[in-house]
Amino acid sequence: MTKVFVGMSGGVDSSVTASLLVEHGYDVVGVYMKNWSQDLPGMKCPWAEDLADAKRVAVQLGIDFRVFDFENKYREKVVQYMIDEYRAGRTPNPDIMCNQEVKFKLFLDTALEQGADMIATGHYARTRDGELLRAHDENKDQTYFLYRVTSDALRQTIFPLGDYTKDEVREMASKRKLFTATKKESMGVCFVGQVGMREFLSQYVETKPGNIVDKQSGDIVGRHDGAIFYTLGQRHGLDVGGGLPYYVVGKDMDANVVYVSRDLNSQEIWRDKIELESIHWISKPVVDKVQVRTRHRAPLVEATLDATTLHLARSERAVTPGQSAVLYDGERCLGGGIVLH
């Protein structure tokens, strides 16, 4: 019997994942990854509640349950990476780094060491012979966050939810009377629950107020409380006067200045060429023509790849340094890279 270690977060998706694997005859072991447990001012980290929920579901399913403590490695590989990127004026995606370094590397290796044949998670994605395929539910498809996983890791991974919609997963949880069937999704920073990124960064990075400057006129139009908190294309959260809305079009971290514009067609916002770094391939395309997604749920755009330069068939808005451009060939996720500029 194939032994599968399932990452159980205490949420409905991973609960249904474990349930489906039990029903399909696998020898299932539930695993809670303890990645973060630190409370923040005004916010209690929900890890203990999530752990308790995951345990309750494991008891319901009659499966063994373990806790893997990855907190130190997570802080080093994911949290510090994120903080360093923000300090450099970039906008990283910690979920992508978590998948690369923790869930499909550290978790996989630890599970195999403890006797697993494979691992499984509640991600909405599919695999085929070491390839990563988009999920049936386009609205929930998570391949954007999984593009840095290796082909070898994918060969040892099961994604049971890839053929289902979120509504169908909720229905399955209710039908099976799983403890987490009605639990809401966490929408905050990936490892600190409902805390916003600004609140989290404030605990680790010293910031100081500075000027918000109109890029065209050079006039000071407002003040900010730290350039680190602002990202390209941002409109909300700008303390500027009335009239037409301003958008962030750039920032100077050394001068602590945020540049804005009222021009929706500003060349700083719209891009038809993207330079990439740290490109990772799951499987390379046969030709250089690809489709690219520049953020989660963004429409796919036709593009050609010339070495590390993406040439887009149409301009995309707010392609942000530090974020990822993920490459596809139809349903197949090929890999991608980090946006350099």
190 is catalytic: yes
Pairing outcome for strands 289-293 and 270-281: unpaired
Nearest to residue 312, comparing CAs of 281, 275, 337?
Answer: 275
Cα angle 133, 136, 139 (rounded to 5 degrees) comes to: 105
Q: Are 248 and 258 in contact (CB under 8 A)?
A: yes
**Identified catalytic residue from 190, 274, 333, 339:** 190
For residue 333, indicate whether it is catalytic: no
Please give the backbone phi and psi of residue 124, each rounded to the nearest 5 degrees, phi first.
-90, 95
Those residues whose C-beta lies under 8 Å from the C-beta of residue 10, and which sit 6 or more positions away, are: 32, 49, 50, 51, 52, 53, 54, 57, 180, 183
Residue 95 three-state SS: helix
DSSP label of 43: B
What is the distance between the alpha carbons of residues 246 and 214, in angstroms, rounded to a whole number?
9
Nearest in space to 132 (alpha carbons), one of 324, 337, 328, 339 = 328
Residues 6+ apart with CB under 8 A from 330: 291
Residue corresponding to tokens 């905050």: 188
* Amino acid identity for residue 241 in this structure: G
In the numeric block, which tokens belong to residue 57?
């579901």
Alpha-helical runs (H) found in 165-302? 166-175, 197-202
Catalytic, out of 20, 28, 51, 98: 98
Place of tokens 């997604």: 293
Which DSSP helix (H) or strand (E) runs through 152? helix 151-155
Active-site residues, by number, are: 98, 190
